[in-house]
Amino acid sequence: MADTAEDQAIDYVLRLGRALHAYGYASPALERALITVSTRLGLVGHFFSTPTSIFVAFGVGSAQRTFLTRVEPGGLSLGKLADVDASARAVIAGAVSPAEGLARIEAVERAPAPFGPVIETLASGIASGAACRLLGGGAGDIGVATGLGVLVWLLAIAATRLQLRQGIFELVSAAIVSAAAYVAAVEGLGTSPSISTIAGLIIVLPGFSLTIAMSELAARHLVSGTARLAGAFMLFLAITFGVAVGRQLATLAVGSAVLPLAAPLYGWTLWAAVLVTPIAVTVLLQGRARDMPWIVLASLAGYAGGRAGAALLGPMLGGCLGALSVGLAAHAYEHWRHRPALVPLVPGVLLLVPGSSGFRSLALLLDQQVVGGVDTAFATLLTAASLVAGLLLAEMIADVTAPAVPAPPASA
């Protein structure tokens, strides 16, 4: 017997929720999107999202139909996220049926990545090299960090083929990168193994997850926010332990050395790094080439706002102005291009997230520098809270200034 229209609508909403979750939606945004689609399709839906599951109930009272979808936290895929979002917008507008929307989602899931492994590997190296400049590294450190970024991506490809569990890959890669950075510094290729290590691991540091967790807690999604915060902490812990092991093994192998200070670089190299980083991150997050100009503009706005905020409010609170700038730019992109604001928002926020400081706090605690570690950890949380405040302000401004959405026809 053919599925009824209600069954087709339910199947579409369930598949949409799983796709949006896999491609990067946080719990508040995911639940809002599913409520909007369900209402448009004439369904009474109740949704509860966590980083590993989605609970869905359709109907009222004893007539409810309940579903549980087990999902794994996936990596961000900006291009597929935009395509799935376009499918949802078409269903909401009534341009396509739920069955057609479901077919579109399945086609998006089958689509290959927009960039090949060679380009992604090069982008990983460029992202690490640019991050090294943003962290204050010298020319030698940038070269070492670029090579380490390439190494980490190759390790990620190998880990995917070997089906290593999350946490194991981060620990192993942290140990290898830390040892390689220290040996390179001893051999005269770099001057600061700590900066090279952080930059080489920049793509695995869960700074963005930390910011998302804080935003979910601020939105009173306590279960999801707490779980995501715990997951980010465990990744920080695995990376810190791996770095400590790698550094110790390298010291035993080549001995300790007194390293010179890095020579300062020209100021224009900093803005070159700011320009290059969002492009490389877009490749790594499987974004579309046509969105890169918007992503670069949003990232530049966020970084300039962050520097202005740091000058006015200090480095820990200045991120609020940076997040506000990139948030407003992202919502303007959504309004003009009818694509999700998350596409330019994620690369722009990644220039501001406190992933490196979170790693430093655990490293200091591991070295038994308790006061410095606690102080750095507090600064990390305050910076994350500042970013969340800026993003919430940008969302509030966008909601206030957005045009009213017309109600669906009575026949819907």
pLDDT in tens, 65-81: 999 988 876 678 899 99
Domain that holds residue 33: 5-111
Whole-prediction pTM value?
0.85
d(CA 391, CA 330): 10
Q: What is the mean pLDDT of residues 352-374?
A: 66
Q: Is residue 243 part of a domain?
A: yes
Give the pLDDT of residue 16. Answer: 94
104 and 126, same domain (yes or no): no
Q: At what angle do helices 267-284 and 117-134 cross, to 10 degrees?
A: 150
54 and 103, same domain (yes or no): yes
d(CA 141, CA 192): 7
In SS3 terms, 368-387 reads as CCHHHHHHHHHHHHHHHHHH
339 and 309, same domain (yes or no): yes
Give the pLDDT of residue 408. Answer: 42
Domain final residue pick, 95, 111, 127 = 111
Strands 53-58 and 45-50, by their bridges, are antiparallel
129, 194, 203, 71 alpha-carbon torsion, rounded to 10°: 180
249 and 309, same domain (yes or no): no
Q: Which residue has the higher pLDDT, 307 or 362?
A: 307
Give the pLDDT of residue 144. Answer: 93
Give the pLDDT of residue 370. Answer: 63
Strands 45-50 and 65-70, by their bridges, are unpaired
Give the pLDDT of residue 402. Answer: 63
Domain final residue pick, 267, 296, 313 = 267
132 and 256, same domain (yes or no): yes
Q: For residue 350, give the H/E element and its range.
A: helix 342-350
Q: Name the residue among 243, 391, 411, 249 with its Cα closest to residue 306.
A: 391
d(CA 131, CA 251): 25
Q: Is residue 33 part of a domain?
A: yes
120 and 260, same domain (yes or no): yes
188 and 209, same domain (yes or no): yes
d(CA 199, CA 12): 41
Q: Is residue 282 part of a domain?
A: no
Q: Is residue 25 part of a domain?
A: yes
Q: Is residue 281 part of a domain?
A: no
Give me the phi and psi of 72, to 5 degrees please: -105, 140
Domain final residue pick, 89, 111, 133 = 111
pLDDT in tens, 369-396: 766 777 777 777 788 888 888 888 988 8
103 and 134, same domain (yes or no): no
153 and 81, same domain (yes or no): no
132 and 104, same domain (yes or no): no
Per-residue pLDDT at 335 exceeds 60: yes
337 and 224, same domain (yes or no): no
Q: How many domains does the chain have?
A: 3
121 and 263, same domain (yes or no): yes
4-18, 296-310, 332-346, 391-405: the lowest-pLDDT one: 391-405
pLDDT in tens, 272-281: 999 999 999 9
Q: For residue 58, give the H/E element and its range.
A: strand 53-58
